[in-house]
């Protein structure tokens, strides 16, 4: 029998979709012109980029001129945060508000601003992996330059109250940025209605390739450039446009924003089946983060008495690709800052397992995981000195 | 196979040797702590200074389990004086290398054996320190070779 291959690490990256891939292909070898050039194939490239911009804008309720293509989510975050802060500094503001469980692109951009004299408030998330709009409101001072809060968490999948925070920031006249890398395609986003000033997203989480992202900046907000260069992106982001990838991102965003509610219903059913299956079969396990405010395809378990990397290696042996927040998988000596932020003790955080589904995952794959994960956990527990049945 | 683990490491992780406990062990040693993400517990059966049986239980990553397994293989049937000389380096070599970030796992394996031997010596009324040296308490996660 062929070894199964079950890819359930879609929060890490996704497979490029057929529709995205075929949309990109002509722009490598046939329509390869530089959009800035003057002849006809260059114009074809230019049109392709502008079509992608329109698709991207439509997917999040923005105007095309509010979309700036970048190289990745991290670049978008750095641009929004560092340059948003720079803009506000001109008005004598030096305070930033974020949370303590952001992606490192946001956390480390904030750390870098601290070195430049900014003060950063890291709002603590609660045990459910959520913050309240009131926490944001209370933290805002007349020195606050920027609020940057992720739309959905990459490790535990919780969805934050972005619309409510948007209302507050609008009322208090504070720039509001959200890292929506994990949320796009899974929640319906309308940047104007939600009072979002800046939004980062990344292609490879929504079935476009790695190496392309975008930053939405609301019309009228003139944040300084992050990457100085030529006249590309109307002079706001230099560098020759990555035409095939931008085309791919446009296509992927168009696909990802279609039929979100029905896709979510299906994913939620599969995810809940997985959660029930694991909780019924494995003792001493918990689900990390709010069950209610959660991405439809995402679940993060903690298994007592076992370590995450061992879980992943054994699952890999069964053809299952997942991830963990243990120290050994984070490449540091501490487990994930997200799991510590929601109050998990180190030893429980070490035993975490994140499963993130996509539309391609099937009921059979869920059944296979419900059968396999308990086997792997009990095998590791049998050799664990801290496990007592 | 996954990561930068050698085939030997993966073999000892997937098929660990000598897993379990020894109820009437002559020496038991435990090192590491759950906070750091790895704990190793070693059980020794010793007759006439020969390690006749050894078992381990480990909570930890792939290399923690593999180094425990390899270390037990390397001391089984050996004289306790010889076993006391087992270094983490020898374990790493026997496993055909470990990623740099995982070297501390092999240090834990060496210490677990020393801790079990120390327990044995103490039960015999012998001070283990002149024989084994000091075994550092495993309170810190920052153990390096």
State how far residue B61 is from chain A, nearest Cα, in angstroms: 5
Give the C-alpha distances (Å, rounded to integers) separating A4 from A12, A192, A273, A319, A360. Answer: 20, 44, 20, 5, 14
CB pair distance less than 8 Å for A346 and B36: yes
Of the candidates A180, A231, A226, the one whose C-alpha atom is nearest the C-alpha of residue A205 is: A180
Give SS3 for A177: strand
Percent of chain A with pLDDT over 90: 95
Which chain B residue has its CA at the smallest distance from A380's CA? B59
The number of domains in chain B is: 1
Point out the catalytic residue in the list B9, B105, B109, B143: B105
Q: What range does the domain containing B69 cover?
A: 7-132
Of B41, B61, B102, the CB nearest to A307: B61
Report residue B36's pLDDT band, with 50, 70 and 90 as the boundaries: confident
Min Cα distance B4 → chain A (Å) is 12
Predicted model pTM: 0.94
Residues of B in contact with A385 (CB under 8 A): 30, 39-41, 57-59
C-beta atoms of B39 and A386 within 8 A = yes
SS3 assignment, position A303: strand
Q: Chain A residues with CB inside 8 Å of B65's CB?
A: 310, 383
Specify the length of chain B in residues: 145
Whether chain A has a CB inside 8 Å of the CB on B42: the answer is no
Distance CA A200, CA A216 (A): 7
Q: Is 0.90 exceeded by the ipTM? A: yes
Alpha-carbon dihedral of residues A324, A328, A333, A336, nearest 10 degrees? Answer: -10
User: From the list A314, A333, A383, which residue is nearest B58 (CB)?
Assistant: A383
Please say if A110 is a catalytic residue: no
Residue B65 lies in a domain: yes
In chain B, % of residues over pLDDT 90: 80
pLDDT band at A331; cut points 50, 70, 90: low
User: How many residue contacts between A and B have a Cβ separation below 8 Å?
Assistant: 74
Q: Is B36 known to be catalytic? A: yes
Overall average pLDDT of the A171-185 stretch:
97
Q: Report the alpha-carbon distance of residue A130 to residue A160 in Å, rounded.
A: 6
For residue B84, give the CATH number of its domain. 3.90.1010.10
Is the pLDDT confidence value at B3 over 90?
A: no
Q: Which of B3, B59, B142 sits opposite A307 (nearest CB)?
A: B59
For the record, the structure tokens of A272 come out as 């809940």
CB atoms within 10 A of CB A92: 9
- CA–CA separation, A249 and A202 (whole Å): 8
Residues 341-370 of chain A with CB under 8 A from chain B are 345-347, 350
Quick one: CA torsion of A233, A239, A240, A243, rounded to 10 degrees? -70
Q: What is the pLDDT of residues A306-330, one digit of tens each?
A: 999 999 999 999 999 999 988 776 6
pLDDT digits (tens, 9 = 90+) for A103-154: 999 999 999 999 999 999 999 999 999 999 999 999 999 999 999 999 999 9
- Residue B62 lies inside a defined structural domain of this protein: yes
* Contacts with A288 (C-beta within 8 Å, 6 or more apart), sequence order: A129, A156, A300, A301, A302, A339, A342, A344, A352
Is-contact A11 A338, C-beta < 8 A?
no
Q: B61 vs A306: CB contact, 8 Å cut-off?
A: no
B61 in reach of chain A (CB within 8 A): yes
Is the model's pLDDT at B141 over the cut of 70?
A: no
Task: Give me the mean pLDDT over the B125-131 stretch.
Answer: 92
Compare all CA atoms of chain A with the CA of B31 and give the residue at the minimum distance. A385
Tokens 């974020």 sit on residue: A98
Q: How are beta strands A298-303 and A285-287 bridged, if at all?
A: antiparallel
Q: Is residue B124 part of a domain?
A: yes
pLDDT level of residue B142 (50, 70, 90 thresholds): low
Partner-chain residue, chosen from A333, A345, A386, that has the shortest CB–CB distance to B142 = A333
For chain B, state the CA radius of gyration: 14
Q: Is residue B1 part of a domain?
A: no
Per DSSP, B60 falls in state: S
Q: Is residue B138 included in any domain, yes or no? A: no
- Tell me whether residue B144 is in a domain: no
**CB contact, 8 Å: A5 with chain B?**
no
Return the H-helix or E-strand segment holding B50.
Answer: strand B50-59
Interface test with A, best of B12, B59, B140 (most A CBs within 10 A): B59
Is the pLDDT assigned to residue B23 strictly greater than 90? yes
What string of DSSP letters covers A319-363?
Answer: TEE-B--SHHHHTSSS--HHHHHTT--HHHHTTEEEEE--TT--H
d(CA A274, CA A296): 12
Task: Determine which of A386, A387, A388, A389 to mutate to test the interface with B (most B C-beta atoms within 10 Å).
Answer: A386
For A202-225, the pLDDT digits (tens) are 999 999 999 999 999 999 999 999
Nearest-CA distance B2 → chain A (Å): 7
In the numeric block, which tokens belong to residue A111? 């750390």
Residues 6+ apart with CB under 8 A from B32: B38, B39, B40, B59, B60, B64, B108, B112, B138
Give contacts of A308 with chain B, Cβ < 8 Å.
Answer: 61
**CB-based contact B73:B65 (threshold 8 Å):** no
Q: Which of B38, B101, B142 sits opposite A331 (nearest CB)?
A: B101
Helix/strand/coil percentages in chain B, nearest 5: 40, 20, 40
User: What SS3 state is found at B40?
Assistant: strand
Q: Which two tokens stand for residue A307?
A: 């370590």
B117 within some domain: yes
Q: Residue B34 has what pLDDT?
A: 84
State CA A150 to chain mean position distance: 8
pLDDT (tens digit, 9 = 90+) per residue, B52-109?
999 999 999 999 999 999 999 999 999 999 999 999 999 999 999 999 889 999 999 9
Share of chain A above pLDDT 70, in %: 98
Average pLDDT, chain A: 96
Pairing state between β A352-356 and B27-33: unpaired
**A172 burial class (0-12, 13-18, 19+ CB within 10 angstroms)?**
middle
Give the mean pLDDT of A6-22. 98
- pLDDT tier for residue A49 given thresholds of 50, 70 and 90: very high
Q: Which residue has the higher pLDDT, B117 or A347?
A: B117
CA gap A66, A357 in Å, rounded: 30
Selected residues 301-340 of chain A with any CB under 8 Å from a CB in chain B:
305-310, 312-314, 316-317, 326-328, 331, 333-335
Residue B1 pLDDT class (50, 70, 90 cuts): very low
Using CB atoms, pick whichever of B2, B36, B57 lies closest to residue A385.
Answer: B57
- CA within 13 Å, CB half, A268: 14
Pairing outcome for strands A6-7 and B27-33: unpaired
Query: Does residue B25 lie within any of the structural domains?
Result: yes
């Amino acid at each position: 029998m062929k070894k199964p291959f079950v890819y359930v690490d879609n929060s890490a990256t996704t497979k490029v979709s057929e529709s995205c891939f075929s949309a990109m292909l002509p722009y490598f070898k046939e329509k390869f012109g530089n959009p800035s050039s003057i002849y006809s194939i260059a114009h074809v490239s230019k049109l392709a980029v502008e079509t992608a911009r329109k698709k991207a804008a439509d997917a999040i309720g923005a105007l095309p001129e509010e979309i700036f293509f970048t190289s990745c989510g991290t670049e978008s975050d750095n641009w929004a945060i560092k340059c948003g802060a720079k803009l506000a500094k001109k008005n004598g503001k030096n305070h930033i508000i974020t949370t303590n469980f952001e992606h490192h692109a946001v956390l480390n951009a904030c750390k870098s601003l601290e070195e430049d004299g900014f003060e950063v408030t890291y709002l603590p998330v609660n045990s459910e992996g959520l913050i309240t709009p009131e926490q944001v409101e209370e933290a805002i001072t007349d020195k606050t330059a920027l609020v940057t809060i992720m739309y959905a968490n990459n490790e535990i999948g919780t969805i934050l109250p972005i619309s409510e925070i948007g209302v507050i920031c609008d009322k208090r006249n504070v720039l509001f940025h959200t890292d929506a890398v994990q949320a796009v395609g899974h929640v319906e986003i309308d940047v104007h209605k939600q009072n979002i000033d800046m939004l980062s997203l990344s292609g490879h989480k929504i079935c476009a390739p790695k190496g392309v992202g975008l930053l939405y900046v609301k019309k009228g907000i003139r944040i300084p450039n992050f990457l100085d260069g030529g006249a590309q992106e109307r002079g706001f982001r230099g560098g020759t446009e990555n035409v095939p990838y931008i085309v791919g991102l446009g296509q992927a965003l168009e696909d990802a924003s279609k039929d979100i509610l029905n896709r979510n219903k299906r994913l939620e059913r599969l995810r809940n089946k997985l959660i029930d299956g694991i909780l019924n079969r494995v003792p001493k396990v918990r689900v990390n983060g709010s069950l209610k405010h959660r991405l439809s395809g995402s679940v993060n378990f903690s298994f007592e008495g076992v370590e995450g990397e061992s879980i992943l290696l054994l699952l890999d042996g069964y053809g299952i690709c997942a991830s963990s927040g243990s120290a050994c998988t984070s490449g540091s000596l501490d487990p994930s800052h997200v799991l510590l932020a929601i109050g998990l003790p180190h030893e429980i955080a070490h035993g975490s397992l994140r499963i993130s589904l996509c539309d391609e995952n099937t009921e059979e794959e869920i059944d296979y995981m419900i059968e396999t994960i308990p086997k792997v956990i009990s095998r590791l527990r049998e050799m664990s000195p801290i496990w007592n049945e | 196979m996954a990561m930068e683990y050698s085939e030997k490491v993966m073999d000892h992780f997937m098929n660990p040797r000598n897993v379990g406990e020894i109820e009437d062990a002559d020496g038991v040693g435990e090192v590491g702590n759950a906070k750091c993400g790895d704990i190793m517990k070693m059980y020794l059966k010793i007759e006439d200074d020969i390690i006749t049986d050894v078992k381990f239980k480990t909570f930890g990553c792939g290399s923690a389990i593999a180094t425990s397994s390899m270390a037990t293989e390397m001391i089984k049937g050996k004289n306790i004086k010889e076993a006391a000389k087992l270094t983490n380096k020898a374990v790493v070599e026997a496993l055909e290398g470990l990623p740099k970030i995982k070297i501390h796992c092999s240090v834990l394996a060496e210490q677990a054996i020393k801790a079990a031997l120390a327990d044995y010596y103490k039960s015999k009324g012998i001070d283990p320190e002149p024989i084994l040296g000091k075994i550092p308490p495993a309170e810190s996660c920052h153990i390096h070779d």
